[in-house]
Amino acid sequence: MADEQSLQEKTQDATPKRRDDARREGQVARSLELASSAVLGAALGSFLLFGGWMREQLGQYLGARLTLPARLDLNLENTPALLQEAGGQAILVLAPLLLVLAGAALLAHVGQVGLVFTGKPLAPDWSRISPLSGLKQMFALRSLTELIKSLLKVGLVGFVAWLVIQRELPALRGLVFADPSEFLPALGGAVVRMTGWVLALLLVLAAADVTFQRWDLSRRLKMSVQDVREEMKQSEGDPLLKRRQRGIQLESAYNRMIRDLPRADVVVANPIHLAVALQYDPAQMRAPRVIAKGRRLVAQRIKDIAREHGIPVIEDKPLARSLFKACAVGAEVPGELYRAVAELLAFVYRLKRRSA
């Protein structure tokens, strides 16, 4: 009951990481009803395909043994050899059927959940030995659901089989004194028809069970809001630590920007809010480059340092806004601003020549 109460408190859908962790632990939406239906269908198909061959092989072997009683001299010496021969013949006859059944079971499981390799379900869990834990499992919702499903399946399968038998019984009664060559095929046909109806019912139940298993897994993997937060902390890091690291990075970038600022050729400024420092070295650069930019207090600091080093500060509001928006620190000026920046640099170079 405590587990059900904890599930009621978990209202968030499972994250991809939670689903991946559950898959590694072997928690997957797997329907045993679908697997059993696949095995039964494979058995029915195998009998329809290989039944004649299997009957022929067994008939030949039994005929060879039963019609020659002189060769069946059983004693302690030849009995092991006879048993080995009979076992080899049985394996030869049943091998196609067993291979088809094994392949159907494997495909049914892999088709539902894919390939899952984990040893977690096989690990020893001492809580399962506890009588109290066993009683809790007996009255858990999942156990009660499985019990109801099993009883419903047995009841429905038995009812369908009874209906088929009731319909086939009159025809079989008329063959009681018939030749075995007539009775056995009729009996085999009745068994095949009954198996087909049971298989159709099991497929319907399997489809419902697949839907239920997926819903139940999603319910069991639900997370609380706190679980989601803890997972985000583990995967992305603590938000407080990330903010601290971000602050350190910004401080480092600011110090580097201020250190490189004396190499600027010009500072383009919005009178109050923005400042962008440009550098251009024709021998090393394809285009002018932004080496510093900032808003408000940082912009004022850039202008102050520029004036201290004799770097021209030009107020051009449209150009300052365009450069601030289009360029990161260290990036080249985009092509659409080449002309405006070139005219500005030409003006600065003329000022430097006049002052010289």
Q: Which CATH number does the domain housing residue 346 bear?
A: 3.40.1690.10
Residues 6+ positions from 227 with CB-CB distance below 8 Å: 10, 12, 18
For residues 276 and 225, state if they share a domain: no
For residues 209 and 273, state if they share a domain: no
Residues 304-324 have pLDDT tens digits of 888 888 888 888 888 888 888
Q: How many domains does the chain have?
A: 2
For residues 107 and 218, state if they share a domain: yes
Backbone angles phi, psi at 352, to 5 degrees: -65, -40
Query: Is 243 among the domain residues?
Result: no
The residues facing 223 across adjacent strands are: 12
Buried b (16+ CB within 10 A) or exposed e, 6-22: eeeebeeebbeebbeee
Residues 260-284 have pLDDT tens digits of 888 888 888 887 788 888 888 888 8
For residues 100 and 186, state if they share a domain: yes
Asked if residues 323 and 268 have their Cβ atoms less than 8 Å apart, the reply is yes
Percentage of the residues of the chain whose pLDDT score is greater than 70: 76
* pLDDT for the residue 6: 53
Residues 3-17 have pLDDT tens digits of 554 555 777 788 778
Q: Name the pLDDT band for 333 (thresholds 50, 70, 90).
A: confident
**Cα–Cα dist 300/261, whole Å:** 13
For residues 48 and 139, state if they share a domain: yes
- Of 340, 325, 252, the C-alpha closest to 288 is 340
Hey, which bits of 134-243 come out as E strands? none
Of 86-100, 118-132, 204-218, 226-240, the poorest mean pLDDT is in 118-132
Show the domain range for 219: 2-233
Strand 274-279 with 289-295, pairing: antiparallel
Q: Name the pLDDT band for 2 (thresholds 50, 70, 90).
A: very low
Asked if residues 213 and 29 have their Cβ atoms less than 8 Å apart, the reply is yes
Query: Is 254 among the domain residues?
Result: no
For residues 266 and 322, state if they share a domain: yes
Backbone angles phi, psi at 279, to 5 degrees: -130, 140
Q: Count Cβ atoms within 10 A of the Cβ of residue 190 and give its class: 0-12 exposed, 13-18 middle, 19 or more buried.
A: middle
Q: Name the pLDDT band for 239 (thresholds 50, 70, 90).
A: low
Q: Report the range out of 118-132, 178-192, 286-300 with the highest average pLDDT.
A: 286-300
Query: Is 245 among the domain residues?
Result: no
**Cα–Cα dist 114/136, whole Å:** 31
* pLDDT for the residue 127: 52
**What is the separation of C-alpha 8 from the centre of its chain, rounded to a whole number of angstroms?**
24
Asked if residues 201 and 157 have their Cβ atoms less than 8 Å apart, the reply is yes
For residues 225 and 338, state if they share a domain: no
Q: What is the mean pLDDT of residues 110-136?
A: 58
Q: Name the pLDDT band for 112 (thresholds 50, 70, 90).
A: confident
Q: Name the pLDDT band for 356 (thresholds 50, 70, 90).
A: low
**Amino acid in position 213:** Q
CB count within 10 Å of CB 42 equals 20
DSSP three-state, residue 302: helix
* pLDDT for the residue 342: 85
Structure tokens at 339: 């002309």
Q: Name the pLDDT band for 37 (thresholds 50, 70, 90).
A: confident
